[in-house]
Every structure is written in structure tokens, then in C-alpha cells.
Amino acid sequence: MVKPRVLVVRAPGTNCDVETAYAFELAGAEPERLHVNQIIDHPRLAERFQILCFPGGFSYGDDIAAGRIAAVQWQTRLNETLNRFRDEDRLVLGICNGFQIMMRLGIFFDAEADRPPATLTWNRQGRFEARWVHLKPESDHCVFLKGISEIYLPMAHAEGRFLMRDALAQQELVDDNQIALRYCGPDGTTGDDELDFPWNPNGAQWNVAGICDRTGRIFGLMPHPERFLFPTNHPNWTRFDSLPESGQGLKLFQNAVAYFG
């Protein structure tokens, strides 16, 4: 099988780059962690990679807003590099803070739109929240979610509440298959109404936990798949009758690798 090369980009405050690179390595890829300044100094470095990943953490301390400074840096210094990943047959993944960066970049949406159709903002309860959540893919349109019917992952964020501009924007995202992942109850129920806490941990509109672009190649989510690579990562693993082969989060990274197989 072809081993795609993965650029795991980090910045001051990023703290999940090692785990994310390890997840891609376990899945069969060849990851490399590079500081964003290395790419700014040598933009052609990015040409070697098939997958770009913005990992979780607190880039630049989340000053101003989560992911804002990192997004401005990419817009002003690396926009051409970003466009190559978006326009060519390559993949882009953003996890937690990485998803926030991608939302600020507008990489999921029409670049010529007057206003973005959605944003990420402070959790409804106005505080950092860390817990495990049940999730359900909306369809198999997203490359990273192929073959996944339900998944259980940890989340840890303060600004992960997904809000859409209006009902029209919501319908367009639904029609374009861009709503990729939603919070659900233990029974797999999502529904059209906002779920109660803790099933919806941040008050996200329509229980949205992750979105993709229209091609399904660019994906961002608030929960952390890289934190559930082994069955013993599960908070209740000692109660299992038998341990599965791997943690549920690994499948997302394996799907990315399989895309190039």
C-alpha cells in the first residue's frame, strides 16, 4: 500500500502534534512535524505531502480568539500553499484547535461568499469542557468517516460551539453534504432539536461536531480521534468483556491513508 506523507503543522501552543503524528504512523502513513515558521521560510517543503493536518492545542495561546492568529498567519504568508492542498487531490484535517483555524481560514466554504455560513464560538456554558461524547456521521461523503456508523471520542475545548448564520445557510450546508459529524445520545439519536447537556457538550446548533467541504476531502472536528487509538484509552476499558483490536479514533486516520491506496 502507498504510504502518504503527512504534514503535521505546529505553532507555539500546539500540544497534540506528537499524538496526531503517531496516529498517522499507526495508520500506515509517514508523518512529519514541522513548525509553521519552517514552512513560511521554505514553502516548497509542503509540496512533498499528500495530507495536511492542523492538530489540537492552543495555538498562540488562543489570544484574540481560538485559532485566529494561526489563521491570519496562513492567510497572509501561506495562502498559496493552502490553496494547493484544497484544489489538488489531497486531504486536509483539523482537530479541535486545528478545526478552529480552518474555520477562521474559511477553507470549507466558497471563498467569494460575502459572509461565512457558520462559525465556532464559546461553549454555551462559557467555560472549558472536557468529556467523552457520542458521535454519529451524517453520511459517508467525508473521506475520513468512511465506514463509520457511530464513534465515541473525547473532547476538550472552550470555543467549540458550532453556529450557523441562518436557516438558509444551514439548509445549504445540509444539501451540500457538509455537515459531516454530529453529537448524539448513547442510543445514536441526533434529531433536529439541540440535544441536552452532556450529549451536546457545548450547545452546538443542530448538534454539529464536525464539517467537511463539498468534496469530502477537507474535514474538521472538535473531538480528538488521536486520543482514542487503543482500547485502553476508553474510560471504562476495564469493564469490557473483551478488548477490541484498536481504539475507535484510529479508523479516521486509516481512512485517510486508504484514500491514497
Per-residue pLDDT of the chain (261 residues; tens, 9 = 90+): 679 999 999 999 999 999 999 999 999 999 999 999 999 999 999 999 999 999 999 999 998 889 999 999 999 999 999 999 999 999 999 999 999 999 999 999 976 567 899 999 999 999 999 999 999 999 889 999 999 999 999 999 999 999 999 999 999 999 999 999 999 999 999 988 999 999 999 999 999 999 999 999 999 999 999 999 999 999 999 999 999 999 999 999 999 999 998
State phi, psi for 92 to the nearest 5 degrees: -135, 130
User: Which residues are registered as beta bridge partners of 135?
Assistant: 151, 183
Q: Which residue has the cell 514541522?
A: 34
State phi, psi for 6 to the nearest 5 degrees: -120, 125
pTM of the model: 0.96
129 in helix, strand or coil? strand
167 in helix, strand or coil? helix
Kindly provide the residue ranges of all beta strands, DSSP E only, lying in the chain, ordered along the sequence.
5-10, 30-35, 51-54, 91-95, 118-121, 129-137, 151-157, 161-164, 179-184, 208-212, 218-221
| All cell numbers assigned to 79 | 495562502
The answer to whether 56 and 102 are in contact (CB under 8 A) is no
| All cell numbers assigned to 148 | 463509520
Catalytic residues: 96, 224, 226
Q: How many domains does one find in the chain?
A: 1
CATH code of the domain containing 101: 3.40.50.880
Range 107-113, long-range pairs (CB < 8 A, 24+ positions): 107/82, 107/213, 107/218, 108/178, 108/211, 108/212, 108/213, 108/218, 108/220, 109/213
Domain membership of residue 109 as a residue range: 5-258
| Separation CA 215–CA 217 (nearest Å) | 5
Which of 125, 113, 242, 220 is CA-nearest to residue 169? 113
Element (H, E) at 168: helix 167-175
